[in-house]
Structure 1
Amino acid sequence: MSNTRKTVMAGLTPGQKKNRRQVANWLYLVVSLLLVSLLVGGITRLTDSGLSITEWKPLVGIIPPIGEAQWLEEFAKYQQIAQYKHLKYGMTPGEYKFIFWWEWGHRLLTRIVLVIFTALPLMFFWITGKLERQVKWRLLGTLALGGLQGGVGWWMVSSGVGDSDLLYVSSYRLALHLILACLLIVSGLTLARRLESCQTPPASHGAHVFAGWLIFLILVQIYLGALVAGIRAGSDFNTWPLMNEAWIPAGLFDLQPWWHNFFENTMTVQFVHRSFAWFLIVITAVHAFWLQRRFPGTAHVFRAMLLLVLMLLQAMIGVATLLLAVPLNWGVFHQGFALVVLCYAVIHWVSCKGTLPVPSESKH
């Protein structure tokens, strides 16, 4: 263990170490539930369930329809929106119940995570004095981000209900909703890992900055993937490695103004997502081999190489998902494995950075 790490661990009392371990375990639980919620959200999107509940009722919305009359009332509200009129016309009440339960389950799960598994335990740890001052404000910021995420979720759904002529939720809002959820995972996992005592010394400043940029690039790629999902771009151009029988297909900038192509042209959106994936793999390889030169034989190199392998596996899953025209199981698998890559990149970055410093109130 390095002198820095020894200093950090020696400065903590047994009680502080125990508190850190308890808070870290709680955060791991929250992150795990957030990952489950994201997967449920992915299934909700792929089954076209996201607009099945046309109102936002944070409290009474927890209770699903009871009795046939209430079910028919909810169904009647859904029949007023554009998605039903143009895509789901003639749907039976039984089919409506299927999509309703996915959206209701997603909303319920996010409320449970935010209130029961996040806000209440935070109050407990705060009141019992188990939180260091530097941890308190980070957790409050994460909780505020969770509240914002819930608001953005309804803002996203509202884009496709009422008098809107959209058949699905806004792809812009969908992408923002997903990125905020990913930031919650990054925030919680980062703090949990930093509260633990790492078994290897931290790497250099340059190494952990490089690893941090990888997280940013992965988030960019997830954002691009959300744009693909939002406009159903994965259902077109289902060939690889050529796209529309060309390496650089014609029609990438057919829309005007030109920047609309990056958000609304299915060809351009998918092309950018494909291309950025290979750019990300190259940058990850550069990072891994750079660490091999600077820290040969260390756990940092092993983690970077494993991250590269995960990137390649994710690319293969993405290609298979594309070739199969995004069936439900492969679409969820592709999204889920992207979260695995993101989480492991966070673990790698924190390991390069090191344990959270000893709180100033403990230094004498």
Structure 2
Amino acid sequence: MWRRINPNFATFMDMQQNKQNKAIIIWLFTGVFMIIVQVLLGGITRLTGSGLSITEWKPILGALPPMNEAAWQAAFAKYQEIGQAKYINSHFTLSDFKGIYFWEWLHRNWGRLIGIVFFIPFIYFIIKKKIDKSMIVPMIILFLLGGLQGAIGWIMVQSGLNDEDLYVSHIRLAIHFIAALSLLWYTLWFALKLSIPQKNIVSAPSLRKLSGWILALLTLQLFYGAFMAGLHAALSASTWPTINGMWWPMGMFTQGGFLEDITHNPITIQFIHRGLAYLLTILIALWYFRARPFSQLDAVRAVALLVVLLQVLLGVLTVLNSQVKIPLGFALAHQFTGMALLMVLVWARFVTKK
């Protein structure tokens, strides 16, 4: 009632609520940052072929790397038993193995650190009664998403520890990637819910609907981004704006079935990935212009347009520089802006309501 009678009172209550939740907001945004780093480490792990270097899953003891020469030799010997070591990295020395081991070890340990950073403050906030009952269920969901992500990661790695598979399946990689982004999305949404005052949220049903469609399309695009990384599909066509000199490239839809082509054919996957990028750019530009009447959306619409244009530019540079191998710097920058675009669009959807 007071909110309807006195808008200043509503603003005051929002400010008080934000102050009360300040520590939780900082905690959640710290989690957002750590998830971003974890996804980037996953990208490095994939592009450096490091994902299968650690052949065991030890949740506690695995936090420590091999501590002496004998332990290193034992870990290397286990790696040499799988197909990737036999058929691709048969030339590896122990020093080479240590190089790929490092990235997988760091990726797993950063995941462990995320669990600690989420769990210990959560217990502290409960003891100090800083978390009210309405936050308990979202927190539990957040922990379940984190645990699910870790389980998917290990299942993915375990599937490649054999004599036949040289790499982890790009399908499993995409599922792992999208699960991580779901955790990022959920954590960011929860943080926004506690930090953005109601006065900054506008009633714009059509914009909210459009942002929902854009988010759905972006999710599909990110899935295809994981396909591109998993299959190193950029190497199949390192030209732009055409694909190997053609707008409708040869080699598409030649795998024997439509579903097989759109999920396993590198040329088809790159064609779809590029097409989705152009469509997303157009739709975000449309959202940008439709949001002009709302001054509260000036910041989010400017950032959204800037990030999508940067994302396209980095995608083009990654493709053009993928002559012999995929350039790690461009690929990671492209992946980072993809996550940034996701976060901006989550922000855009949050600040519009029905």
Q: TM-score, normalization: structure 1? A: 0.90
Q: Distance in 2 between matches of 1:136 and 1:12?
A: 20
Instruction: Give the Å deviation of 1:11.
Output: 4.8
In structure 2, the residue matched to 1:28 is: 29
Amino acid at match of 1:308: L
Determine if contact 1:19/1:131 at 8 Å carries over to the other structure: no
Instruction: Give the Å deviation of 1:313.
Output: 1.1
In structure 2, the residue matched to 1:170 is: 169
Question: Would you say 1:306 and 2:306 are equivalent positions?
Answer: no
In structure 1, the residue matched to 2:150 is: 150
Instruction: Give the Å deviation of 1:10.
Output: 4.8
Distance change >3 Å, CA 225–CA 231, structure 1 → 2: same
Which whole-Å deviations, capped at 9, do the CAs of 1:90-123 have from their partners, x for residues lacking one?
2010010010011001000001101x11112112
Determine if contact 1:203/1:300 at 8 Å carries over to the other structure: no
Q: Distance in 2 between matches of 1:241 and 1:186?
A: 32
Alignment root-mean-square deviation, CA: 2.0
Q: Percent same amino acid among aligned pairs?
A: 35
In structure 1, the residue matched to 2:251 is: 251
Q: Distance in 2 between matches of 1:289 and 1:301?
A: 10
In structure 2, the residue matched to 1:263 is: 263
In structure 2, the residue matched to 1:77 is: 78
After the TM superposition, which of the residue ranges 265-274 and 116-125 deviates more from structure 2? Answer: 116-125
Equivalent residue runs for 1:123-134 within 5 Å:
123-134=123-134
Determine if contact 2:202/2:296 at 8 Å carries over to the other structure: no
Q: Distance in 1 between matches of 2:40 and 2:112?
A: 15
Q: Distance in 2 between matches of 1:126 and 1:216?
A: 35
In structure 2, the residue matched to 1:360 is: none
Instruction: Give the Å deviation of 1:81.
Output: 0.7
In structure 1, the residue matched to 2:191 is: 192
Amino acid at match of 1:19: Q
Determine if contact 1:179/1:222 at 8 Å carries over to the other structure: yes
After the TM superposition, which of the residue ranges 197-206 and 129-138 deviates more from structure 2? Answer: 197-206
Equivalent residue runs for 1:166-245 within 5 Å:
166-198=165-197, 200-245=200-245
Determine if contact 1:321/1:327 at 8 Å carries over to the other structure: yes
Q: Distance in 2 between matches of 1:312 and 1:13?
A: 35
Amino acid at match of 1:59: I
Q: Distance in 1 between matches of 2:95 and 2:185?
A: 38
Determine if contact 2:201/2:296 at 8 Å carries over to the other structure: no
Determine if contact 1:205/1:353 at 8 Å carries over to the other structure: yes
Instruction: Give the Å deviation of 1:204.
Output: 1.9
Distance change >3 Å, CA 148–CA 201, structure 1 → 2: closer
In structure 2, the residue matched to 1:362 is: none
Determine if contact 1:54/1:78 at 8 Å carries over to the other structure: yes
Q: TM-score, normalization: structure 2? A: 0.92
What is the SS of the residue equivalent to 2:141?
Answer: helix
Which whole-Å deviations, capped at 9, do the CAs of 1:194-240 have from their partners, x for residues lacking one?
11143634232332232233233222211110011111111111001
Tell me which of the two structures has the higher relative contact order, counting C-alpha pairs closer than 8 angstroms and 6 or more residues apart: 1
In structure 1, the residue matched to 2:94 is: 93
Instruction: Give the Å deviation of 1:142.
Output: 1.1
Distance change >3 Å, CA 5–CA 225, structure 1 → 2: farther
After the TM superposition, which of the residue ranges 135-144 and 204-213 deviates more from structure 2? Answer: 204-213
Which consecutive unaligned segments of at least 5 residues does structure 2 have? none
Question: Would you say 1:322 and 2:319 are equivalent positions?
Answer: yes
